[in-house]
């Protein structure tokens, strides 16, 4: 049986496709989409999982390609008859296929679907032709056919019988009718224009009601399948009394049209038949004899009906009615999404496919013609590459920074009157690409900062924006490498990579650096990163942190500079000019000159702006030769700073007179300048020695106390104790003598002397007649031990150098008791 079925299938393959296999593949290259067609033929009623064909082999596809392209089939119908096994590349039956349910009496019967692959997009049209299997026998609608035939019926009278229906097609469909043998009727078969067959019985022998009042025949309908199937109906004939005229239609064929959505009960056409008989024999009834079972539910495009007219005597006539169904635009197009890609990169070139849609309209003719368009003005367009399939592609270059997402509305409109349309909106997101560099808000950043700033202070904040998103918009600020006055810029300023705040790394000095000019780079986090630069100028503002500097007259430590004014000088005589500068700038460098002290303030004045020293009266003989002017130079800062200069003026007409008067002038100046410093130093040394002596005294006291406690508790004899200052010399004893020797040395050997001072604890005021200054010498004595006869005495001497102002001797002398051996001198000193 299987071999016979296989032979029938093979014959059908050859009938449709010649001697070639039932497979045709067409590859289309249109809009960058690979498309193909393939066709298979399978018998109906195959079991689930049965093999249909190897699509991977037939289409030349690799199994890896099926997996990577996410191969799938799209039917657009509720029933999924087939299934794609991507791991094997084969197409199998998913559920039972009933050809009669799928196609009815339409032949050939087939259904189609699309197989879609992605990356790149491929679309393959697959058609499955379902071959009929003889799984249905012919079936009559009724189990019995009742015929009333007048006995007067003429020989050759025809009586149309109900047709049998066989949902199978071809050789498996209804092929023949067989009537059981009888004497009165023979069977004749006819073929309708649509290919269906019907039978009628023809009277070949006159009926005789009196002999045979009724007849019972069987009509058998058989198909051509193997094995053959059949259906049977009983024909019950009642012989009536004579009725010799049959009804006659006035038209053999009636034609009518009706719209497809006509309501039930709508009048389509009127048929008319007449019977010349009278009475009940002329009363005609009409019936439809070959109506399909589903005509009452749905009207197709065209139907053919047979109308029977029958009188009461059983005589009949038939006529054909052809009904054409007019299409009405009652179905809007439907949009099905085959594939849609979102998001799409903003650098996608024009023509990039973002989606494939399928559009169908169940209407016919113009009502089924569909046009697709994009509703709004968007950078996309829609193209048709296959029947009922459209691709949605980009029309221009996308820019996410301008538009980050789109709502694409596709409108499908048919050509009916009025037209019907369907909308489908697609939400497309545009993914970011690092195509924008950071942009600074300013072309140049400038800031001011006062000098002597604290390190770490914030100078200025640079800001940049990047219209990209996420990591592509994350900005880092970087200080570009450069040199500022020979040193790297990173030693002067730093920039916060996140906030863009620029800080000072060190304190700035306006007198060294007036401004800082450097470059900051803003770099995003894209790959590769994009960047932009901006110039930053930091202007350093001056502060009054420098006092004026006197350039003239020059202040020297060892030589005397004096300006001479003749006694004949008039009023306004220019004595000299104090020249000073200030390294600050602006008003901080504006200098003014004032006379602070003078030997004779009524004799000289100083120009406030120019520092010129002039006489304000006539010089007289009474004016002292030595004139000492102290000029203060002040700047205009807040607070102001100043410098002092001493100007020595000699009022004399000859140079020797000046030399005799200014011999010790320099010594007095240096003496006064350095006196304070050495007094402070001497006080510190004395304090240190005092603390040291105090510690020694306490230590000795503790030691002696412990010795006395030991002696007190011991049983040893008491030995008299003699102080060390007493000595038994020839039994006569000695007296205490204290000698204090002073040696004063100066840089001028002519002023050196050596004196023998008095012993004692006295304060002596010494006036050296050879020098111009005096110095109070303080000698102090303090006992170290607690006995009144302590042997240690301390004296201190301060003696300044009259020329240099330095101490030539700073002496702590310890006067010891003198014994008969003679006086002893211990002294120490240092010179500066």
Read off the pLDDT of residues 147-158 as tens digits, 9 standing for 90 and up: 988 888 889 999
With beta carbons less than 8 A apart as the criterion, state whether 252 and 203 touch: no
Average pLDDT of the segment spanning 35-64: 89
pLDDT at residue 818 in the model: 32
pLDDT at residue 804 in the model: 35
One domain, residues 425 and 443:
no
Q: Decide which of 308, 326, 344 is a domain's last residue.
A: 326
Longest dimension (CA), the chain: 212
pLDDT at residue 173 in the model: 86
Classify residue 89: in a domain, yes or no. yes
Classify residue 278: in a domain, yes or no. yes
Burial pattern 170-181, b for ≥16 Cβ within 10 A else e, equals bebbbbbbebee
pLDDT at residue 54 in the model: 92
DSSP state of 209: T
Q: Phi, psi (5° rounding) for residue 824?
A: -125, 135
pLDDT (tens digit per residue) in 488-532: 999 999 999 999 999 999 999 988 888 999 999 999 999 899 999
Average pLDDT of the segment spanning 93-122: 86
**For the CA atoms of 156, 161, 163, 164, what is the dihedral angle to 10 degrees?**
-110
One domain, residues 344 and 382:
yes
pLDDT score of 664 more than 70? no
pLDDT at residue 497 in the model: 93
One domain, residues 532 and 558:
no
pLDDT score of 827 more than 50? no
In this structure, of 217-221, 245-249, 818-822, the range with the lowest mean pLDDT score is 818-822
Classify residue 425: in a domain, yes or no. yes
Cis peptide before 52 (omega within 30 of 0): no
Q: How far apart are CA 199 and CA 39, in angstroms?
A: 39
CA 828 to chain centre: 82
Closest CA to 82 of 104, 118, 125, 113: 113
Q: Phi, psi (5° rounding) for residue 470?
A: 55, -135
One domain, residues 581 and 651:
yes
Average pLDDT of the segment spanning 627-654: 89
pLDDT at residue 299 in the model: 60
Q: How far apart are CA 76 and CA 80, in angstroms?
A: 9
567's tokens = 């006694």
Which one has a higher pLDDT value, 374 or 781?
374
Average pLDDT of the segment spanning 546-563: 78
pLDDT at residue 34 in the model: 56
**For the CA atoms of 99, 104, 105, 106, what is the dihedral angle to 10 degrees?**
-80
Q: How far apart are CA 17 and CA 26, in angstroms?
A: 16
One domain, residues 449 and 413:
no
One domain, residues 655 and 598:
yes
335's tokens = 């949009």
Instruction: Give percent of the chain with pLDDT exceeding 70.
Output: 77
Which one has a higher pLDDT value, 763 or 738?
738
Look at residue 22 and give its three-state secondary structure: coil
DSSP state of 508: -
pLDDT band at 673 (very low <50, low <70, confident <90, very high): low
One domain, residues 553 and 656:
yes
Mean confidence (pLDDT) of the chain: 78
Classify residue 728: in a domain, yes or no. no
- In the block, tokens 């006295």 appear at 762
pLDDT at residue 72 in the model: 87
Q: In sequence order, which residues have a C-beta less than 8 Å from that of residue 663 and are 6 or more positions away?
A: none
Look at residue 704 and give its three-state secondary structure: helix
Q: How far apart are CA 801 and CA 809, in angstroms?
A: 9
pLDDT score of 126 more than 70? yes
Residue ranges with strand state E in 599-625? 604-606, 612-615
Q: How far apart are CA 328 and CA 312, in angstroms?
A: 42
Q: Phi, psi (5° rounding) for residue 598?
A: -155, 150
646's tokens = 């001493």
pLDDT (tens digit per residue) in 434-492: 999 999 999 999 999 998 899 999 999 999 999 999 999 999 999 999 888 788 999 99
SS3 per-residue string spanning 708-743? HHHHHHCCCCCCCCCCCCCCCCCCCCCCCCCCEEEE
pLDDT band at 292 (very low <50, low <70, confident <90, very high): low
Structural domains of the chain, count: 6
Classify residue 196: in a domain, yes or no. yes
Q: How far apart are CA 763 and CA 767, in angstroms?
A: 13
pLDDT band at 712 (very low <50, low <70, confident <90, very high): low
pLDDT at residue 586 in the model: 84
Start-to-end C-alpha separation, the chain: 140
One domain, residues 417 and 504:
no
CB count in 10 Å sphere of residue 185: 24
Q: How far apart are CA 809 and CA 753, in angstroms?
A: 12
Average pLDDT of the segment spanning 232-239: 92
Q: Decide which of 497, 521, 541 is a domain's last residue.
A: 541
Range of the domain at 371: 334-430
Q: Counting beta carbons within 10 angstroms of the beta carbon of residue 743, is it exposed (0 to 12), middle (13 to 18) or buried (19 or more)?
A: middle
Average pLDDT of the segment spanning 790-808: 36
Q: How far apart are CA 128 and CA 111, in angstroms?
A: 5
One domain, residues 126 and 64:
yes
What is the chain's length? 832
One domain, residues 226 and 305:
no
Classify residue 454: in a domain, yes or no. yes
What is the helix (H) or strand (E) element at residue 288, kind and residue range? Answer: strand 284-288
pLDDT score of 263 more than 60? yes
Closest CA to 266 of 274, 275, 257: 257
Which one has a higher pLDDT value, 13 or 636?
636
Q: How far apart are CA 697 and CA 271, in angstroms?
A: 159
pLDDT score of 659 more than 80? no
With beta carbons less than 8 A apart as the criterion, state whether 607 and 593 touch: yes
pLDDT score of 217 more than 50? yes
Q: How far apart are CA 696 and CA 684, in angstroms?
A: 19
What is the helix (H) or strand (E) element at residue 461, kind and residue range? Answer: strand 458-461
pLDDT band at 278 (very low <50, low <70, confident <90, very high): confident
| CATH number where 446 lies | 2.60.40.60
Closest CA to 361 of 415, 432, 418: 415
Q: Phi, psi (5° rounding) for residue 17?
A: -125, 15
Q: How far apart are CA 58 and CA 259, in angstroms?
A: 45
Q: How far apart are CA 226 and CA 424, in angstroms?
A: 51
Q: Decide which of 636, 660, 684 is a domain's last residue.
A: 660
Q: How far apart are CA 212 and CA 207, in angstroms?
A: 7
Classify residue 560: in a domain, yes or no. yes
pLDDT score of 770 more than 70? no
Residue ranges with strand state E in 353-416? 353-360, 370-374, 380-386, 389-394, 405-414
- Rounded to two decimals, the pTM is 0.49
Strands 487-488, 273-274: pairing is: unpaired
pLDDT at residue 11 in the model: 39
Average pLDDT of the segment spanning 426-431: 93
Look at residue 340 and give its three-state secondary structure: strand
Q: How far apart are CA 363 and CA 367, in angstroms?
A: 5
Which one has a higher pLDDT value, 222 or 781?
222
With beta carbons less than 8 A apart as the criterion, state whether 204 and 173 touch: no
Average pLDDT of the segment spanning 188-193: 88
Classify residue 348: in a domain, yes or no. yes
DSSP state of 820: T
pLDDT score of 28 more than 60? no
Average pLDDT of the segment spanning 402-427: 92
pLDDT at residue 36 in the model: 75
One domain, residues 564 and 626:
yes
Burial pattern 745-776, b for ≥16 Cβ within 10 A else e, equals bbeeeebeeeeebebeeeeeeeeeeebeeebe
Q: In sequence order, which residues have a C-beta less than 8 Å from that of residue 722 and are 6 or more positions away?
A: none
Q: How far apart are CA 577 and CA 606, in angstroms?
A: 9
One domain, residues 507 and 554:
no
pLDDT at residue 53 in the model: 93
């Amino acid at each position: 049986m299987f071999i016979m079925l296989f032979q029938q299938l093979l014959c059908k393959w050859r009938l449709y496709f010649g001697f070639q296999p039932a497979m045709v593949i067409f590859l289309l290259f249109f809009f960058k989409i690979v498309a193909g067609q393939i066709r298979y033929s399978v018998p109906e009623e195959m079991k689930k999982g049965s093999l249909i064909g190897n699509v991977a082999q037939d289409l030349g596809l690799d199994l890896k390609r099926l997996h990577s392209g996410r191969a799938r089939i799209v039917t657009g119908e509720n029933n999924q008859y087939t299934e794609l096994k991507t791991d094997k590349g084969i197409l199998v039956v998913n559920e039972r296929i009933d050809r009669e349910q799928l196609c009815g009496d339409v032949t050939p019967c087939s259904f189609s679907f699309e197989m879609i692959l992605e990356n790149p997009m491929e679309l393959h049209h697959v058609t499955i032709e379902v071959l009929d299997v003889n799984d249905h026998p012919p079936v009559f609608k009724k189990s019995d056919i009742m015929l009333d035939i007048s006995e007067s019926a003429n020989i050759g009278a025809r009586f149309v019988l109900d047709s049998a229906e066989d949902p199978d097609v071809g050789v498996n469909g209804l092929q023949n009718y067989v009537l059981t043998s009888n004497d009165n009727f023979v069977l004749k078969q006819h073929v309708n224009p649509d290919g269906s067959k019907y039978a009628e019985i023809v009277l070949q022998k006159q009926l005789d009601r009196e002999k045979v009042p009724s007849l019972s025949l069987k009509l058998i309908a058989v198909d051509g399948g193997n094995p053959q199937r059949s259906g049977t109906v009983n024909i019950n004939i009642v012989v009536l009394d004579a009725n010799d005229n049959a009804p006659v239609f006035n038209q053999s064929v009636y034609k009518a049209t009706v719209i497809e959505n006509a309501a039930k009960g709508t009048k389509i056409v009127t048929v008319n038949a007449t019977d010349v008989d009278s009475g009940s024999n002329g009363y005609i009834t009409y019936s439809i004899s070959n109506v399909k079972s589903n005509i009452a539910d749905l009207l197709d495009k065209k139907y053919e009906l047979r109308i029977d007219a029958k009188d009461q005597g059983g005589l009949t006539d038939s006529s054909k009615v052809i009904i054409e169904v007019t299409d009405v635009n009652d179905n809007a197009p439907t949009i099905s999404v085959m594939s849609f890609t979102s998001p799409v990169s903003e650098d996608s070139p024009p023509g990039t496919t973002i989606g494939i849609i399928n559009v169908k309209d169940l209407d016919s003719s113009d009502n089924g013609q569909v046009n697709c368009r994009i509703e709004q003005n968007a950078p996309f367009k829609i193209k048709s590459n296959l029947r009922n399939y459209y691709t949605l592609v980009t029309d221009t270059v996308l820019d996410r920074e301008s538009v980050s997402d789109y709502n694409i509305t596709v409108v499908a409109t048919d050509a009916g009157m009025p037209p019907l349309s369907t909308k489908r909106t697609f939400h497309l997101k545009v993914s970011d690409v690092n195509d924008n560099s950071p942009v600074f808000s300013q072309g140049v950043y400038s800031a001011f900062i006062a000098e002597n700033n604290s390190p770490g202070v914030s100078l200025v904040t640079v800001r940049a924006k990047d219209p990209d998103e996420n990591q592509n918009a994350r900005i880092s600020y970087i200080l570009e490498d450069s040199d500022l006055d020979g040193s790297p810029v990173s030693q002067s300023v730093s920039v916060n990579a996140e906030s863009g705040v620029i800080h000072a790394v060190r304190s700035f000095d306006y007198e060294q650096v007036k401004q800082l000019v450097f470059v900051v780079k803003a770099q995003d986090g894209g790959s590769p990163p994009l960047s932009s630069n901006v110039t930053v100028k930091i202007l350093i503002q001056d502060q009054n942190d420098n006092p004026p500097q006197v350039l003239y007259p020059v202040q020297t430590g060892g030589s005397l500079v004096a300006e001479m004014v003749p006694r004949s000088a008039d009023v306004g005589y220019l004595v000299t000019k104090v020249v000073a500068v200030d390294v600050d700038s602006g008003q901080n460098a504006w200098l003014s000159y004032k006379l602070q002290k003078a030997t004779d303030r009524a004799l000289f004045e100083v120009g406030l702006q120019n520092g010129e020293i002039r006489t304000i009266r006539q010089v007289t003989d009474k004016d002292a030769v030595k004139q000492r002017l102290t000029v203060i130079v002040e700047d205009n800062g807040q607070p102001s700073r100043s410098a002092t200069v001493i100007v020595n003026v000699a009022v004399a007409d000859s140079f020797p007179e000046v030399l005799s008067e200014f011999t010790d002038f320099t010594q007095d100046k240096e003496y006064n300048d350095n006196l304070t410093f050495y007094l402070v130093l001497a006080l510190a040394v004395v304090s240190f020695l005092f603390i040291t002596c105090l510690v020694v005294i306490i230590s000795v006291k503790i030691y002696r106390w412990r010795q006395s406690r030991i002696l007190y508790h011991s049983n040893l004899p008491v030995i008299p104790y003699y102080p060390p200052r007493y000595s038994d010399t020839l039994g006569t004893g000695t007296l205490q003598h204290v000698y204090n020797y002073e040696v004063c040395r100066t840089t001028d050997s002519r002023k050196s002397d050596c004196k023998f001072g008095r012993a004692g604890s006295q304060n002596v005021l010494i006036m050296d007649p050879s020098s111009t200054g005096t110095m109070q010498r303080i000698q102090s004595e303090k006992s170290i031990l607690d006995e009144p006869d302590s042997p240690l005495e301390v004296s201190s001497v301060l003696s300044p150098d009259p020329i240099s102002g330095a101490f030539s001797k700073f002496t702590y002398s310890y006067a010891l008791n003198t014994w008969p051996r003679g006086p002893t001198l211990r002294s120490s000193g240092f010179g500066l």
